Amino acid sequence: MTTDFAATRALFHLPEGVIYLDGNSLGPLPRSAAARVADCVTKEWGEMLIRGWNAAGWMDQPMKQGNRIARLIGAEPDSVVLGDTLSIKVYQALAAALDMVPGRKVILSDTGNFPSDLYMAEGLCRTLGPDYRLVTVAPEDVAGAITDEVAVLMLTQVDYRTGRMHDMAALTALAHEKGAIAVWDLAHSAGALPVELAGCKADFAVGCTYKYLNSGPGGPAFIYVAPRHQDRALPALSGWLGHAAPFAFDLAYRPGAGVERMRVGTPPILQLAALEASLDIWDTVDMQALRARSVALCEAFIAGVEATCPDLALASPRDATQRGSQVSFRHPEGYAIMQALIAQGVIGDFRAPDILRFGFTPLYTSDADVEGAVAILAKIMASGSWDRPEFKARAKVT
Amino acid sequence: MTTDFAATRALFHLPEGVIYLDGNSLGPLPRSAAARVADCVTKEWGEMLIRGWNAAGWMDQPMKQGNRIARLIGAEPDSVVLGDTLSIKVYQALAAALDMVPGRKVILSDTGNFPSDLYMAEGLCRTLGPDYRLVTVAPEDVAGAITDEVAVLMLTQVDYRTGRMHDMAALTALAHEKGAIAVWDLAHSAGALPVELAGCKADFAVGCTYKYLNSGPGGPAFIYVAPRHQDRALPALSGWLGHAAPFAFDLAYRPGAGVERMRVGTPPILQLAALEASLDIWDTVDMQALRARSVALCEAFIAGVEATCPDLALASPRDATQRGSQVSFRHPEGYAIMQALIAQGVIGDFRAPDILRFGFTPLYTSDADVEGAVAILAKIMASGSWDRPEFKARAKVT
């Protein structure tokens, strides 16, 4: 296990002149991914054609790569499988969870959750019928809102805007006390910090791989189902690759054993090849060392910005134990400030209405990145150089 | 528009010593796809990082590539969008369709449909509640089974085992007469033959791109929503990229305008890059010429096999107008025969219980391929060389 983050940095392609603090939105390219994907395209698809499903092991990729992610999130072997997008995995987890608590019809979440997760819950409730509903409360009110009406507690561990972190162990225990099922979204946790799904007795978890796990744009999502639930969690999205015998082509659905029943359709093999290259790096990473380094980077950035940018208000928890691996500041002109930063090569991102968001990713963020980002941000804020029409014009994707 | 299929063949990588008749399962590699995917990985992901969503146009890929597929399937502009897998798109189409016929709770399909489509319908019915059900009849009995109880008629146009083709115009008209919605699966139609979705007044259609459309293993699926339905089709899988304003991060879901509301999560950009390269070829193809060539190839194969292999029984319709772009034969030892063929470089596939399946894909199947495949198959059948243990041992993926 490595604790040498200068060495891991060398394994990523980081463009000249860029300080990249947006790995919480899209991780950079692992150098070896280019060759891995090229091999997948030319040697596997090109030469093996259909035979690749067996010969190149394509069919096994969702479980094989899932088992590598399992270590990073404290999951048991054979409890994580790749596929689809995070939104689809949210729908699957919620549908299976609701099914396990007959008689209850409330999904509880918080207003700090990804809107996308809330949308998927809303769509599922509408599909299930008028008795089902999604209830959202403020993040700090979640614990008090877990009543015995709640079927499923659906939370994102790390808030995508502020980095504020929920206490997974405590809230899962509370949910269980009230007879509810806990579904955790790890989009900003997997690869960001040590997660202990089994240790926290989480029931379901979902996450994506294109953020901290560096699988590239549109890389597949994953779903975790606790071993104790795997053979009773009924897939609403009952696809053929989750069938007990996909190639028997039976007319009736019979869910497969274990977490593989959460597979739906044909897995995205090129994206999985890129993920595979990234996980070659992740396999070597000590998660406790990663966390220590992440905290150090975040603390240095907070200290630097607060010392030089009095107009920026810290939006993230000051206490590192309450924070994921990102730091956010608020400013009413946050959008323009972020564009000015990007124009100078410091890439973070903006989240409506006023959040400047900076991800710190020990695998490739250096101390010099932190110092450089602080210096450039300080200069932009001191000079007011963000106040220009080209920085205020909104792009399609923010 | 090209009718020169020797020229298109040169645009594909076809491995030495292989006669590839399985493009209906996984299309081969378009030569330009290797460079296109490599550019997407190194120049876009590697250099642009998160900026690729705007700068490389990633966010627009699902609609942009959808509009190119639209021509091949006779769809109106802006009525096709890429994403997810075919199974997910089936679920979306069925859920939206059921919603449009309040009071009716029956999905009608046939036993020749992809089991996968039936599984997804089954899962949706279970999610919707005990009143909903999937009814399947034999393919030839479909027309008579469209009663005024049927909410949705879900059919695959071309049978994946036999190539038998449903009459899309007639069955859609019948469905409409009875007040039902027609959902068509084009998995074995898109790129296989001219499809006229708009001409047939189809309501919804779904399809995949890794078969005849050559997008590579796990390439994304597509969904078609007729323009007249687009603004009332309510997405059950209400993901953030189908939201009216994905980057406003509103807490409540508001479906976007048009077919884009059927987008769910982050699109698979590497797979879309491969598709893009393939569509560069498809953009040049005259679909009527493709059909004529497909029929000629299939007829030649049927004639050749029937003249030399008396033990193989034609499973496909003899009448070309009733057949897609594949030819199937039955034999009780079909699996072993197919393995023997593959061992000699003729790649088709096997479908349980007894189907040998051969796809004919004018873009790269040559007359010499047909002659060579017939000659090798005839030799295997005459010698009985398929009757060996190594050909009878089943692989994981058949």
Query: What tens digit of pLDDT does each residue of A318-369 get?
Result: 999 999 999 999 999 999 999 999 999 999 999 989 999 999 999 999 999 9
Phi, psi of B110, rounded to the nearest 5 degrees? -130, 160
Check whether the bond before B28 is cis (ω within 30° of 0): no
Least Cα separation, residue A269 to chain B (angstroms): 5
Is B250 among the catalytic positions? no
Q: Based on the fold, state whether residues B40 and B26 are members of the same structural domain.
A: no
Q: Based on the fold, state whether residues B54 and B36 are members of the same structural domain.
A: yes
Using H for helix, E for strand and C for coil, what is the string for chain B? CECCHHHHHCCEECCCCCEECCCCCCCCEEHHHHHHHHHHHHHHHHHHHHHHHHHCCHHHHHHHHHHHHHHHCCCCCCCEEEECCHHHHHHHHHHHHHHCCCCCCEEEEECCCCHHHHHHHHHHHHHHCCCCEEEEECHHHHHHHCCCCEEEEEEECECCCCCEECCHHHHHHHHHHCCCEEEEECCCCCCCCCCCCCCCCCCEEEEECCCCCCCCCCCCEEEEECCCCCCCCCCCCCCHHHECCHHHCCCCCCECCHHHHHCCCCCCHHHHHHHHHHHHHHCCECHHHHHHHHHHHHHHHHHHHHHHCCCCEECCCCCHHHECCEEEEECCCHHHHHHHHHHCCEECEEECCCEEEEECCCCCCCHHHHHHHHHHHHHHHHHCCCCCHHHHCCCCCC
Q: What is the distance, to the nearest Å, from the Cα of residue B312 to the centroid of all Cα atoms in its chain?
A: 26
Question: Please, which pLDDT band fits residue B248 given cuts at 50, 70 and 90?
Answer: confident
Q: Based on the fold, state whether residues A126 and A155 are members of the same structural domain.
A: yes
Q: Based on the fold, state whether residues B66 and B16 are members of the same structural domain.
A: no
Q: Report the CATH number that the domain containing residue B150 is assigned in CATH.
A: 3.40.640.10
> Is A245 among the domain residues?
yes
Q: Based on the fold, state whether residues A66 and A128 are members of the same structural domain.
A: yes
**Count of CB atoms within 10 A of residue A299's CB?**
16
Angle between helix A287-308 and A367-383 (nearest 10): 20
Question: Please, which pLDDT band fits residue B395 given cuts at 50, 70 and 90?
Answer: confident
Catalytic option among B210, B360, B364, B391? B210
Residue matched to tokens 């020797």: B6
- pLDDT of B366 over the 80 cut: yes
Query: What tens digit of pLDDT does each residue of B19-51 get?
Result: 999 999 999 999 999 999 999 999 999 999 999
- Residue A215 DSSP label: -
Least Cα separation, residue B60 to chain A (angstroms): 10
**ipTM score here?**
0.97
**Count of domains forming chain B:** 2
> Is B207 among the domain residues?
yes
Query: What tens digit of pLDDT does each residue of A235-294 get?
Result: 999 999 999 999 888 999 999 999 999 999 999 999 999 999 999 999 999 999 999 999
> Is B396 among the domain residues?
no
Query: What tens digit of pLDDT does each residue of A72-131 get?
Result: 999 999 999 999 999 999 999 999 999 999 999 999 999 999 999 999 999 999 999 999
Q: Based on the fold, state whether residues A179 and A213 are members of the same structural domain.
A: yes
Question: Please, which pLDDT band fits residue B336 given cuts at 50, 70 and 90?
Answer: very high
Q: Among A49, A87, A264, select the one facing B240 at the smallest CB separation.
A: A87
Q: What is residue A249's predicted lDDT score, i.e. its pLDDT?
A: 87
Is A211 among the catalytic positions? yes
Helices (H) and strands (E) in chain A, counts: 13, 15
CA–CA distance, A123 with A125 (Å, rounded to integer): 5
Domain boundary among B282, B297, B323: B282
Q: Based on the fold, state whether residues B26 and B141 are members of the same structural domain.
A: no
CA–CA distance, A195 with A71 (Å, rounded to integer): 9
Considering only CB atoms, which chain B residues are within 8 Å of A129?
Answer: 128-129
Is B210 among the catalytic positions? yes
Using H for helix, E for strand and C for coil, what is the string for A118-181? HHHHHHHHHHHCCCCEEEEECHHHHHHHCCCCEEEEEEECECCCCCEECCHHHHHHHHHHCCCE
Min mean pLDDT across B159-173, B240-254, B285-299 is at B240-254
Is A232 among the catalytic positions? no
- pLDDT of A397 over the 90 cut: no
Least Cα separation, residue B348 to chain A (angstroms): 9
Chain A, 172 to 191: residues with Cβ < 8 Å from chain B are none
Q: Is B19 an 8 Å CB contact of chain A?
A: no
Q: What is residue A40's predicted lDDT score, i.e. its pLDDT?
A: 98
B80 Cβ contact list (under 8 Å, min separation 6): B66, B67, B69, B70, B73, B222, B223, B224, B259
- pLDDT of A396 over the 80 cut: no
- pLDDT of A394 over the 90 cut: no
> Is A394 among the domain residues?
no
> Is A165 among the domain residues?
yes
Query: What tens digit of pLDDT does each residue of B295-321 get?
Result: 999 999 999 999 999 999 999 999 999
> Is B357 among the domain residues?
yes
> Is A12 among the domain residues?
yes
Q: Is A118 an 8 Å CB contact of chain B?
A: yes
Q: Is B35 an 8 Å CB contact of chain A?
A: no
- Here the tokens at position B59 are 């966010």
- pLDDT of A398 over the 80 cut: no
> Which amino acid, one-letter code, is at A75?
A
Domain boundary among A263, A282, A301: A282
Q: Report the CATH number that the domain containing residue A11 is assigned in CATH.
A: 3.90.1150.10
A161 Cβ contact list (under 8 Å, min separation 6): A112, A315, A328, A351, A355, A357
% pLDDT > 70, chain B: 100
Mean pLDDT, residues A209-226: 98
Strands A221-225 and A204-208: antiparallel
What is the DSSP track for A323-344? Answer: B-SEEEEE-TTHHHHHHHHHHT
A240 vs B266: CB contact, 8 Å cut-off? no
Q: What is residue B120's predicted lDDT score, i.e. its pLDDT?
A: 98
Q: What is residue B263's predicted lDDT score, i.e. its pLDDT?
A: 98
% pLDDT > 90, chain B: 96
% pLDDT > 90, chain A: 96
- pLDDT of A383 over the 80 cut: yes
Mutate: best of A270, A341, A357, A364, partner B, most B CBs <10 A:
A270
Q: Is A368 an 8 Å CB contact of chain B?
A: no
- pLDDT of B3 over the 90 cut: no
CA–CA distance, B223 with A329 (Å, rounded to integer): 40
Q: What is residue A395's predicted lDDT score, i.e. its pLDDT?
A: 80
- Cβ burial of B196 (10 Å; 0-12, 13-18, 19+) is middle
Q: Is A6 an 8 Å CB contact of chain B?
A: no
Domain boundary among B282, B316, B350: B282
Q: Based on the fold, state whether residues A101 and A193 are members of the same structural domain.
A: yes
Least Cα separation, residue A36 to chain B (angstroms): 10
Q: Based on the fold, state whether residues B54 and B157 are members of the same structural domain.
A: yes
Q: Based on the fold, state whether residues A174 and A306 are members of the same structural domain.
A: no
> Is A157 among the domain residues?
yes
Buried b (16+ CB within 10 A) or exposed e, A138-172: ebeebeebbeebbbbbbbbbbbbbbbbbbebeebb
Is B211 among the catalytic positions? yes
Q: Based on the fold, state whether residues A164 and A262 are members of the same structural domain.
A: yes
Mutate: best of A47, A238, A276, partner B, most B CBs <10 A:
A238
Whole domain around residue B243: which residue ranges? Answer: 32-282
Q: Based on the fold, state whether residues A56 and A194 are members of the same structural domain.
A: yes
Mean pLDDT, residues B105-127: 97
Q: What is residue A3's predicted lDDT score, i.e. its pLDDT?
A: 79
Q: What is residue A248's predicted lDDT score, i.e. its pLDDT?
A: 87
CA–CA distance, B336 with B386 (Å, rounded to integer): 6
Q: Among B41, B124, B264, select the one facing A33 at the smallest CB separation.
A: B41
Query: What tens digit of pLDDT does each residue of A297-330 get?
Result: 999 999 999 999 999 999 999 999 999 999 999 9
Q: What is residue B280's predicted lDDT score, i.e. its pLDDT?
A: 98
Under a CB-based contact definition with an 8 Å cutoff, are residues B180 and B340 in contact?
no
Chain B, 277 to 336: residues with Cβ < 8 Å from chain A are none
Q: What is residue B146's predicted lDDT score, i.e. its pLDDT?
A: 98
B37 vs A41: CB contact, 8 Å cut-off? yes
Chain B, 191 to 250: residues with Cβ < 8 Å from chain A are 208, 210, 216-221, 234-240, 243, 247-250
Considering only CB atoms, which chain B residues are within 8 Å of A220?
Answer: 268
Under a CB-based contact definition with an 8 Å cutoff, are residues A364 and A9 in contact?
yes
- pLDDT of B245 over the 80 cut: yes
Q: Which residues of A are annotated as a binding site?
A: 86-87, 114-117, 156, 185, 188, 210, 240, 266
A115 vs B208: CB contact, 8 Å cut-off? no
